[in-house]
Structure 1
Amino acid sequence: MAPSAISPISSPSTEKSLPSKSQDVDAMAAMAHRGKSLPLMPKFKTHAETRQWQLEHMAGAFRVFASEGYSEGISGHISVRDPEHADRFWINPLGVHFGMMRASDMICVNLDGDVIGGNVEGSINAAGFQIHSAVHRARSDVHAICHTHSVNGRAWSAFAKPLEMLNQDVCYFYNAHSVYSDYGGIANEASEGERIAASLGQGKAAILMNHGLLTVGKTVDEAAFLFCLMERSCGVQLAIEAAGLEKHYVSDEEAAYNFKMASTPECLYTEFQPHLRYEEHKCRGDYKS
């Protein structure tokens, strides 16, 4: 019997080689070896189309947060700056569980707290407004903000210490996160929100002592992925501290390289898409309505 035909294997000289760290490689191009490039963030022709897409992804992010166990009573909020009006942002209504959030639930407010549109019958978290409005005022480059009282984030925040570069993934926060160590109680006053915004500075995230975590991004997808990653990183750090063994740190050089290659807005947007698609699969896109 004749042997079965076997597809020829390309010689090493014809293979697409992986980029070396010495090369100036585009971060998105480096994520996929061979095959099609990963999809970039979509662009729309109208503000209305962009707005609807943002609200759908915002609601989807809440569904992911619910699956991750970040819900805690009426605490926690995500905001997204309106694509047409820079002085307005969308935020979740008070008292709706993350796992039930829909795009149509979101409320549009201006930086003074006036309800402008969306779910005008809903109420918003007063402390949430103070935090989000202060960050949106301070950072015109920020389009989305995430904050919840997640378990590991609250636990690590009690130490008022930044995360250490102890593994590859936490390097996404290398020199890009801060600690707000002046806890002023529930942020019902503008001054507390302003202090949190000042502590965040130009970073991607902040650990709020005795409170929780806050992340920001160019898209809600970026901010949401960073939040999930920071929460897990706090859990990893807590486990390492509990072990009490000698730590081995990622070097500054390697941490800086990891940050450059993996922590761009485009990469972080892409990182969140599997989580979002899984939620869409589970609820058949219910959150988009």
Structure 2
Amino acid sequence: MSPSADLPTPPLSSCTKVESKQASKTPLQLISQGTPLPSIPTFLSFASHRAAILSHMAGAFRVFARKGFTEGMSGHISVRDPEYPHLFWTNPLARHFALLRASDMILLDYDGKVVGGNTSRPANGAGFLIHSALHKAREDVNAACHCHGKAGKAWSAFGKKLEMINQDICYMYGEAQGVYEDFGGIVFEEEEGRKLARALGEKGKGLVLKNHGLLTVGGTVDEAAYLYTLMERSAEVQLMVEAAAANGLKKIIVDDEAAEYTFRMASDPETLYWEFQPDLEYEVELMGNVFDDFDEEKALFCS
């Protein structure tokens, strides 16, 4: 027997106990004091799943409109079809975000052919090249958002990542955020879309597109939409901080340990899904669920 074999096991420190308690819970459970929020919804059929995600997609556009992310015909969201993963839904060109309904969405294949949904209007050609490249490159990317919001466009002129200057932007810590530096005008070439997907990388959640704006992705349209609102607001805050720093105030960056911990505890798919629900519920309360009108029988799936 070794000399130390009969020594008592030292008690767990309070810090160890806290870490052990955290390890047994998901981030969503940790943020819920009491009965935790439920997980991301699951569905009994592809039809019910499709109707739900298109409703949330239309709701996301309504939220974006209320937050002022519109700019002419610019801006698009895509959502991968739950039954046919090589197809994705997107919005019609030149229809205001605040007017969009689930029934307005267009179903495209990777060749750009309209294969279902709304056939009365075209999709955004540049948006198709961007979103098809993202969906092809990353199987985990079920949704992507890109708009021309004011703050995002302003910050994109610097061609830099958003800095970890507050708790919220730590949701985009490390590899979660990238910069696309090869702006060459409106995206009309497939290679441009592929380069953009490469800039996002294998773990990216959001991109600053130099001289262009912002782009986010997620496992749900709710996650991608929330991250877009987060990046747009964070760009606005960063510009305010930069203005204050230019007048002599010292800017303090969140240290890596704290930023990584915040990312790990808050930037998971379930938490990010729920981060978007307050804005979505507010939109429903103000306007009614008028955007939830998808009819599976009128989906017009083409052969």
TM-score (norm 2): 0.87
Per the alignment, residue 82 of structure 2 pairs with: 83
Match of 2:273 among 263, 269, 273: 269
Cα displacement (A) at 1:226: 0.2
Per the alignment, residue 10 of structure 2 pairs with: none
Cα displacement (A) at 1:39: 2.3
2:236 counterpart SS class:
helix
Amino acid at match of 2:155: W
Structural mapping, 1:16-27, within 5 Å: 20-21=18-19, 23-24=22-23, 25-27=25-27
Per the alignment, residue 291 of structure 2 pairs with: 287
Cα displacement (A) at 1:164: 0.9
1:286 counterpart SS class:
coil
2:291 counterpart SS class:
helix
Could you tell me which runs of 5 or more consecutive residues in structure 1 were left unpaired when the two chains were aligned.
1-18
Amino acid at match of 2:187: A
Could you tell me which runs of 5 or more consecutive residues in structure 2 were left unpaired when the two chains were aligned.
1-16, 294-303
Cα displacement (A) at 1:251: 1.0
> Once the two structures are superposed, what CA deviation does each residue of 1:100-129 show, in whole Å capped at 9, x if it has no partner?
000000000001101010001220110000
| Separation (CA, whole Å) in 1 of partners of 2:61 and 2:40 | 19
Percent identity for Structure 1 against Structure 2: 55
1:41 counterpart SS class:
coil
| Separation (CA, whole Å) in 2 of partners of 1:21 and 1:239 | 36
Per the alignment, residue 4 of structure 2 pairs with: none
| Separation (CA, whole Å) in 1 of partners of 2:119 and 2:265 | 42
Per the alignment, residue 220 of structure 2 pairs with: 219
Structural mapping, 1:223-238, within 5 Å: 223-238=224-239
| Separation (CA, whole Å) in 2 of partners of 1:129 and 1:185 | 15
| Separation (CA, whole Å) in 1 of partners of 2:262 and 2:50 | 32
Cα displacement (A) at 1:21: 5.0
Cα displacement (A) at 1:28: 0.8
The alignment yields a C-alpha RMSD, in angstroms, of: 1.0
| Separation (CA, whole Å) in 2 of partners of 1:232 and 1:115 | 34
1:72 counterpart SS class:
coil
| Separation (CA, whole Å) in 1 of partners of 2:129 and 2:265 | 34
| Separation (CA, whole Å) in 1 of partners of 2:91 and 2:18 | 44
Dislocated runs of 4+, deviation >3 Å: 19-23
Q: Which segment drifts farther, 279-288 or 74-83?
A: 279-288
Per the alignment, residue 7 of structure 2 pairs with: none
Per the alignment, residue 136 of structure 1 pairs with: 135
Aligned pair 1:44/2:51, yes or no?
Answer: no
| Separation (CA, whole Å) in 2 of partners of 1:219 and 1:26 | 18
Contact 1:165 1:249 in 2 (8 A): yes
Aligned pair 1:163/2:181, yes or no?
Answer: no
Amino acid at match of 1:242: A
Per the alignment, residue 148 of structure 2 pairs with: 149
Cα displacement (A) at 1:92: 0.1
| Separation (CA, whole Å) in 2 of partners of 1:152 and 1:21 | 38
Per the alignment, residue 13 of structure 1 pairs with: none
1:179 counterpart SS class:
strand
Per the alignment, residue 32 of structure 1 pairs with: 32
Contact 1:39 1:270 in 2 (8 A): no
Aligned pair 1:260/2:259, yes or no?
Answer: no
> Once the two structures are superposed, what CA deviation does each residue of 1:124-152 show, in whole Å capped at 9, x if it has no partner?
11000000001111011100000000100
| Separation (CA, whole Å) in 1 of partners of 2:67 and 2:236 | 13
| Separation (CA, whole Å) in 2 of partners of 1:101 and 1:263 | 28
| Separation (CA, whole Å) in 2 of partners of 1:165 and 1:279 | 30
Contact 1:162 1:179 in 2 (8 A): yes
Cα displacement (A) at 1:40: 1.8
Per the alignment, residue 205 of structure 2 pairs with: 204
Amino acid at match of 1:241: E
Per the alignment, residue 181 of structure 2 pairs with: 181
Cα displacement (A) at 1:20: 3.6
> Once the two structures are superposed, what CA deviation does each residue of 1:168-209 show, in whole Å capped at 9, x if it has no partner?
000000011000011011001112111111111120000000
> Once the two structures are superposed, what CA deviation does each residue of 1:186-240 show, in whole Å capped at 9, x if it has no partner?
0011121111111111200000000000000000000000000000001111100
Match of 1:250 among 241, 251, 254: 254
> Once the two structures are superposed, what CA deviation does each residue of 1:28-49 show, in whole Å capped at 9, x if it has no partner?
1111112x21122111111111
